[in-house]
Amino acid sequence: MICLKIPPVLKKMHGIFEQHGYSAYLVGGAVRDMLMGKTPSDWDVTTNAAPEQVMQIFHKVIPTGIAHGTVTVHFMKNEIEVTTFRTESGYSDGRHPDHIEYAATIQDDLSRRDFTMNAIAVNLADGTVVDPFGGQNDIRHGIIRTVGKPSERFMEDGLRPIRAIRFAAQLKFSIEKDTYSELFKAEIQKKAAGISVERFRDEMIKLLKAEEPSAGIKLLEETHLLDVFMPEFRPCVQCIQGDGRGFHEFDVMTHLMYACDGAPKDKLNVRLAALLHDIGKPQAKNIKTENGAELYTFYNHEQISEKISRPLLARLKFPNALIDNVCHLVKNHMFNYEPTWTDAAVRRFLVRTGYENFEDLIDLRLADIYGMHKIPLRLHDSPAGKLLLELKDRIEAEHEKNSALTLKALAVNGKDLMHAGIPAGKTVGKVLNYLLETVLDDPAQNTKDTLLTIAQNYCQNMQKACSE
């Protein structure tokens, strides 16, 4: 019989349950993590004590989900979710059970859970493992299998098909064949389509934090579940971009998936940008013939990609600030630095992209290159990498100079211009933008007297041009 070591905080919690005549078990992802040799990030406990009884025996309890038998116990600086043994039936909304009944045994409680790897409990009294559905064996073999019939489990909650795929990517498991085949069925996809976009988004975020998100994205695409929530990707499938010039090995969809793998896993914004950066290529694709060979071009695809990405992310209800940032990265990912760039060109690049976004743009460019052939790029060992490093050095140098890169950084403002006789209104804006362009070309011009003189001359020339 397998026994797991119980953390001290759970031992003490069990002692309190036991004093009052109740049993308690550790359940959920924490058990799965412990069996896989990982350290759990939180604890879920189930007990035969009713929520009202849990609230009586512990000092600080929040009724976070009391209608479903769940409370949150604040215990020894931990927030521990405690749920009463229960069975469920009837899922008319595809998420919440119509009927909840408290169960008599831990085995009954485990029978309602989604996958065998999540239907394992640990007795907090002695660490013994309760595993009525073979979850430990499935964990050892890296298999995701539903508890009971896949059709029944998936029809209970439309999120479960998405969770199966997310777990497959996150844990690097395979989905058991009967469970997998169920994902293609129309009634299952219809049930999945009924979940809230927020629930899908949250699962997608977890998937994007996996070591290789491409494994999950590929499963979403081949089961057509991706079409349910992100149909904008469908044109990317089998959209060929390699034309013999060596730029791309994969179709657009595969490239996007691998680019996502190549982005830093701790940067959600960059992973989203990597997944979306070329989504506009199918619309931008043009085929021309040179010397008898077909060549593919994708002019302005970054702008089209940005226009597709913004409503897609908004529909999934990502935060506005994140949407703005991701779309900015997508729109600007096609910069092509050359050592011949002047300092003024570097400054204009900074104005367009923002210094605060440069590291993310570098990461996105590296992810993009990785996605071309699924080969990591080391900055110091490749021509492309060396160019990025050179640009990075020049960006840092310009930043340290404290160059005027925004209207606010100019030595004059709108009030100064109007005091100098520049007409109020649109003219002031035009003059300020002209002054910024002047300073970007030559930062030494950024003094009040110099800019006021340039402004007056500019206005005189505009008036002269209008009168002629």
pLDDT digits (tens, 9 = 90+) for 278-305: 999 999 999 888 777 788 889 999 999 9
Does residue 93 have a pLDDT over 60? no
Do 207 and 95 sit in the same domain of this protein?
Answer: no
Q: Is residue 316 part of a domain?
A: yes
**With pLDDT > 70 as the criterion, what percentage of the chain qualifies?**
96
Q: Is residue 168 part of a domain?
A: yes
Do 305 and 387 sit in the same domain of this protein?
Answer: yes
Could you tell me the two tokens for 106?
């831990």
Q: Return the amino acid letter for 161.
A: P
Do 253 and 385 sit in the same domain of this protein?
Answer: yes
d(CA 132, CA 122): 12
**With pLDDT > 90 as the criterion, what percentage of the chain qualifies?**
82
Average pLDDT, the chain: 93
Helices (H), 401-425: 414-419
pLDDT at site 376:
82
Instruction: Give the number of other CB atoms < 10 A from CB of residue 291.
Output: 5
Token pair 């590929």 in the structure block, residue: 218
Do 121 and 17 sit in the same domain of this protein?
Answer: yes
pLDDT at site 456:
93
Give one DSSP letter per residue of 208-255, joined into a string: HTSS-THHHHHHHHHTTHHHHH-GGGGGGTT-----SSSS-SS-HHHH
Of 229, 263, 287, which residue sits at a domain end? Answer: 229
Q: Is residue 1 part of a domain?
A: no
Do 250 and 398 sit in the same domain of this protein?
Answer: yes
d(CA 172, CA 176): 13
Do 445 and 386 sit in the same domain of this protein?
Answer: no
Q: 331 with 308: CB under 8 angstroms?
A: no
Token pair 């002019």 in the structure block, residue: 299
pLDDT at site 96:
54
Do 340 and 413 sit in the same domain of this protein?
Answer: no
* Nearest Cα to Cα of residue 208 among 164, 265, 168: 265
Average pLDDT over residues 68-93: 83
The model's confidence at residue 94, banded by pLDDT at 50, 70 and 90, is very low
Give one DSSP letter per residue of 296-341, joined into a string: EE-TTHHHHHHHHHHHHHHHTT--HHHHHHHHHHHHTTT----TT-
* Nearest Cα to Cα of residue 216 among 154, 275, 168: 168
Q: What is the pLDDT of residues 128-149, one digit of tens each?
A: 999 999 999 999 999 999 999 9
The model's confidence at residue 327, banded by pLDDT at 50, 70 and 90, is very high
Q: Is residue 3 part of a domain?
A: no
Which tops the pLDDT comparison, 3 or 26?
A: 26
Give one DSSP letter per residue of 9-44, joined into a string: HHHHHHHHHHHTT--EEEETHHHHHHHTTPPPSS-E
Average pLDDT over residues 397-416: 90
Do 294 and 431 sit in the same domain of this protein?
Answer: no
Q: Which domain holds residue 188?
A: 142-229
Do 374 and 253 sit in the same domain of this protein?
Answer: yes
pLDDT at site 3:
85
Do 446 and 419 sit in the same domain of this protein?
Answer: yes
Q: Return the amino acid letter for 435.
A: L
Q: Is residue 283 part of a domain?
A: yes
Do 262 and 160 sit in the same domain of this protein?
Answer: no
Q: What is the pLDDT of residues 154-202, one digit of tens each?
A: 999 999 999 999 999 999 999 999 999 999 999 999 999 999 999 999 9
Q: Is residue 71 part of a domain?
A: yes
Q: What is the pTM of this model?
A: 0.91
> Exposure of 43 by Cβ count < 10 A (0-12 exposed, 13-18 middle, 19+ buried)?
buried
d(CA 434, CA 457): 11
**Contacts of 363 by beta carbon, 8 Å cutoff, 6+ apart:** 263, 264, 267, 270
Q: Is residue 461 part of a domain?
A: yes
Q: How many domains does the chain have?
A: 4
Give one DSSP letter per residue of 84-122, joined into a string: E-EEEE--TTSSS-SEEEE-SSHHHHHTTSSBGGGS-EE
Does residue 249 have a pLDDT over 80? yes
Q: Is residue 2 part of a domain?
A: no
Of 229, 256, 291, which residue sits at a domain end? Answer: 229
**Contacts of 45 by beta carbon, 8 Å cutoff, 6+ apart:** 10, 13, 24, 25, 26, 27, 73, 80, 81, 82, 83, 124
We report the CATH number of the domain holding residue 171 as: 1.10.110.30
d(CA 327, CA 272): 9
We report the CATH number of the domain holding residue 122 as: 3.30.460.10
Of 136, 158, 175, which residue sits at a domain end? Answer: 136
Do 193 and 97 sit in the same domain of this protein?
Answer: no
We report the CATH number of the domain holding residue 321 as: 1.10.3210
Instruction: Give the number of other CB atoms < 10 A from CB of residue 244.
Output: 9
